[in-house]
């Protein structure tokens, strides 16, 4: 298997996924909010000590729910990093928000909290920290600033499920949080996500918004005698068949995280010599952040080296990839008046970062092969201009 192709990602099963999916089908409750959805939500609420978790069809839809719950009106501003996935921005843009992109820290690649103050105006209503690679943003700086300025904090914790910042689980620190269970994340069900909040007002409204703007959840609890249209909303709840799959994954959360930690450590040990020689840099994990080992990335010296190293690895069967095209320099970002040069750290990192294959079933020998190829690339002088 040693010379086989190594994909970037590979979905996996670890326990009773297929059995639970069959149970869900046979139980004749395959729509949303069924028994497996409830089990997933209860497990996450208890484990992460959060008042309410609602499964959603994706992290994207959880973010859209958060944007609705913030009552964003056209012209309101939200502050977010540009170095992120498009959904962080689209959820708010759909409500008519103006996007204020801030630069990232060069160490964790998270939103630079020292840049927030200058990005906040009279129109700002929310800050959207994105916990890149499952490493917590500096919430100790972000939360007090948000409280002082009366802003909501919505954590994009798509990559941060089961990771902690000063002991608190990511996604449970701000006013609302959003998780992803997409097949590229740590715990998966194909497409899926969750909305999290502690706030009792949001709790009540979130279940309405998720159920097409109806009070159907209250009807099922017997709190109202008929259900009707009470708010705006959409269909943000996943089938219980997907929740069944997810529940099996959540039952093995510790095992999945421990395995990912071993993969991470193997990459780290194998690539440390190259980092010591100054050929590349490895991820930074601050001591107060307990990671979930969502990804392993390296940052090489310049864009040309990255292009050559990606080609070198992919030609040899290793599907290493890069991301993100910064949102502020994308076609949509440019229509908002953003230009190259405005967010230098984001632009620099986005041209030099490489994500290495990382998934539950990746073996130590596959990690060694990836690392050896990277070493061979640099030893062969391929890195020069
Ligand atoms: C994966 C990801 C999303 C989107 O998650 P979906 O569940 O696919 O909608 C949003 N934000 C970040 C930072 C992500 O990594």
Q: Are 31 and 239 in contact (CB under 8 A)?
A: yes
Ligand 1 probe mutation, 8, 132, 136, 158, most atoms within 8 A of CB: 158
- What is the strand order of the sheet 280-281 is part of? 280-281, 297-300, 353-355
| pLDDT band at 383; cut points 50, 70, 90 | low
Task: Evaluate if residue 257 carries a pLDDT over 50.
Answer: yes
| pLDDT band at 382; cut points 50, 70, 90 | low
Ligand 1 probe mutation, 56, 60, 65, 193, most atoms within 8 A of CB: 60
Q: In the chain, pLDDT over 70 holds for what percent of residues?
A: 98
Ligand 1 probe mutation, 81, 180, 188, 246, most atoms within 8 A of CB: 180
What is the rounded average pLDDT for all residues in the chain?
A: 96
Of 1-5, 41-45, 141-145, 236-240, the one with minimum mean pLDDT is 1-5
- What is the strand order of the sheet 176-180 is part of? 52-56, 193-197, 176-180, 152-156, 124-127, 77-81, 98-102
Going from the Cα of 177 to the center of ligand 1, the distance in angstroms, rounded, reads 12
Task: Evaluate if residue 1 carries a pLDDT over 90.
Answer: no
Q: Which atom of ligand 1 is nearest to the CA of 192?
A: 7
- 11-31 tens-digit pLDDT: 999 999 999 999 999 999 999
Instruction: Give the residue from 176, 184, 221 showing the smallest Cα distance to 66.
Output: 176
Going from the Cα of 318 to the center of ligand 1, the distance in angstroms, rounded, reads 24
**Secondary element (H or E) of residue 100:** strand 98-102
Task: Evaluate if residue 236 carries a pLDDT over 70.
Answer: yes
Instruction: Give the residue from 101, 84, 90, 41 showing the smallest Cα distance to 67.
Output: 90
Task: Evaluate if residue 385 carries a pLDDT over 70.
Answer: no
Task: Evaluate if residue 124 carries a pLDDT over 90.
Answer: yes
Going from the Cα of 325 to the center of ligand 1, the distance in angstroms, rounded, reads 15
- 306-330 tens-digit pLDDT: 999 999 999 999 999 999 999 999 9
The domains located in the chain, with CATH, are 17-250 (3.40.640.10), 253-379 (3.90.1150.10)
Going from the Cα of 128 to the center of ligand 1, the distance in angstroms, rounded, reads 13
Q: Once rounded to an integer, what is the mean pLDDT over residues 214-233?
A: 93
Going from the Cα of 66 to the center of ligand 1, the distance in angstroms, rounded, reads 14
How many C-beta neighbours within 10 Å does residue 287 have? 5
Q: Which atom of ligand 1 is nearest to the CA of 179?
A: 7
Per-residue three-class SS string for 19-56: HHHHHHHHCCCCCCCCHHHHHHHHHHHHHHCCCEEEEE
Q: Which atom of ligand 1 is nearest to the CA of 159?
A: 15
Question: CA 278, CA 272: separation in Å to the nearest integer?
Answer: 10
- Which pLDDT value is given to residue 112? 98
Ligand 1 probe mutation, 63, 83, 154, 159, most atoms within 8 A of CB: 159
Task: Evaluate if residue 381 carries a pLDDT over 90.
Answer: no
Instruction: Give the residue from 36, 10, 17 showing the smallest Cα distance to 249.
Output: 17
Task: Evaluate if residue 181 carries a pLDDT over 80.
Answer: yes
- Which pLDDT value is given to residue 267? 98
Residues contacting ligand 1 via CB (< 6 Å): 58-60, 84-85, 87-88, 130, 156, 158-159, 180, 182, 193
Q: Once rounded to an integer, what is the mean pLDDT over residues 60-81?
A: 97
Question: CA 84, CA 90: separation in Å to the nearest integer?
Answer: 11
- Which pLDDT value is given to residue 200? 86
Going from the Cα of 225 to the center of ligand 1, the distance in angstroms, rounded, reads 38
Residue with CA at minimum distance from ligand 1 atom 14: 158
Q: Is 357 exposed, middle or buried (0-12, 13-18, 19+ CB in 10 A)?
A: buried
Residue with CA at minimum distance from ligand 1 atom 1: 158
Tokens encoding 333: 């970002």
**Secondary element (H or E) of residue 289:** strand 289-290
Q: Are 99 and 342 in contact (CB under 8 A)?
A: no
Question: What phi-psi label fits residue 354: left (phi over 0), alpha (psi between -120 and 50 degrees) or beta?
Answer: beta
- Which pLDDT value is given to residue 264? 98
Tokens encoding 90: 């689209």
Going from the Cα of 90 to the center of ligand 1, the distance in angstroms, rounded, reads 11
Going from the Cα of 87 to the center of ligand 1, the distance in angstroms, rounded, reads 6
- 130-180 tens-digit pLDDT: 999 999 999 999 999 999 999 999 999 999 999 999 999 999 999 999 999
Question: What phi-psi label fits residue 301: left (phi over 0), alpha (psi between -120 and 50 degrees) or beta?
Answer: alpha
DSSP secondary structure letters along 239-259: PHHHHHHHHHHHTTHHHHHHH
Going from the Cα of 226 to the center of ligand 1, the distance in angstroms, rounded, reads 36
Question: CA 143, CA 132: separation in Å to the nearest integer?
Answer: 18
DSSP secondary structure letters along 326-361: PGGGSHHHHHTT--TTSSHHHHHHHHHEEEPP--TT
- Which pLDDT value is given to residue 167? 98
Residue with CA at minimum distance from ligand 1 atom 5: 59
Q: Are 274 and 375 in contact (CB under 8 A)?
A: yes
| pLDDT band at 280; cut points 50, 70, 90 | very high
| pLDDT band at 113; cut points 50, 70, 90 | very high
Going from the Cα of 228 to the center of ligand 1, the distance in angstroms, rounded, reads 32
Q: Is 1 exposed, middle or buried (0-12, 13-18, 19+ CB in 10 A)?
A: exposed
Instruction: Give the residue from 156, 134, 143, 135 showing the smallest Cα distance to 67.
Output: 156
Q: Are 20 and 248 in contact (CB under 8 A)?
A: yes
- Which pLDDT value is given to residue 3? 65
């Amino acid at each position: 298997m040693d010379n086989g192709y190594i994909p970037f990602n590979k979905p996996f099963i670890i326990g009773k996924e297929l059995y639970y999916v069959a149970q869900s089908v046979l139980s004749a409750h395959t729509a949303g909010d069924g028994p497996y959805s409830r089990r997933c939500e209860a497990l996450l609420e208890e484990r992460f000590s959060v008042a309410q978790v609602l499964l959603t069809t994706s992290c994207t839809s959880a973010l859209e729910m958060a944007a609705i719950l913030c009552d964003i009106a056209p012209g309101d501003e939200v502050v977010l990093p540009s170095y992120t996935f498009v959904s962080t921005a689209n959820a708010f843009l759909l409500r008519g928000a103006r996007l204020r992109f801030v630069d990232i820290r060069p160490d964790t690649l998270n939103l630079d909290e020292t840049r927030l103050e200058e990005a906040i105006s009279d129109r700002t209503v929310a800050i959207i920290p994105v916990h890149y690679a499952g490493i917590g943003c500096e919430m100790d700086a972000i939360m007090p600033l948000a409280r002082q300025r009366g802003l909501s904090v919505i954590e994009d914790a798509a990559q941060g499920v089961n990771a902690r910042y000063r002991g608190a689980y990511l996604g449970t620190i701000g006013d609302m949080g959003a998780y992803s269970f997409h097949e590229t994340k740590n715990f998966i069900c194909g497409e899926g996500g969750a909305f999290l909040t502690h706030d009792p007002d949001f709790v009540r409204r979130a279940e309405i918004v998720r159920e097409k703007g109806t009070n159907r959840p209250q009807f099922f609890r017997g709190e109202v005698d008929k259900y009707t249209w009470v708010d705006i909303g959409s269909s943000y709840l996943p089938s219980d068949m997907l929740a069944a799959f997810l529940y099996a994954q959540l039952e093995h959360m510790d095992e999945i995280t421990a395995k990912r930690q071993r993969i991470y450590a193997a990459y780290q040990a194998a690539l440390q010599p190259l980092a010591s020689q100054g050929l590349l840099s490895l991820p930074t994990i601050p001591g107060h952040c307990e990671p979930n080992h969502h990804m392993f990335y390296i940052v090489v010296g310049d864009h040309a080296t990255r292009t050559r190293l990606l080609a070198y690895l992919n030609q040899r069967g290793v599907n290493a990839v890069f991301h993100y095209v910064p949102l502020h320099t994308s076609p949509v970002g440019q229509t908002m008046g953003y230009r190259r040069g405005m967010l230098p750290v984001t632009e620099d990192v986005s041209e030099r970062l490489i994500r290495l294959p990382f998934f539950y079933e990746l073996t130590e020998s596959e990690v060694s092969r990836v690392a050896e190829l990277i070493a061979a690339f640099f030893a062969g002088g391929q890195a020069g201009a």
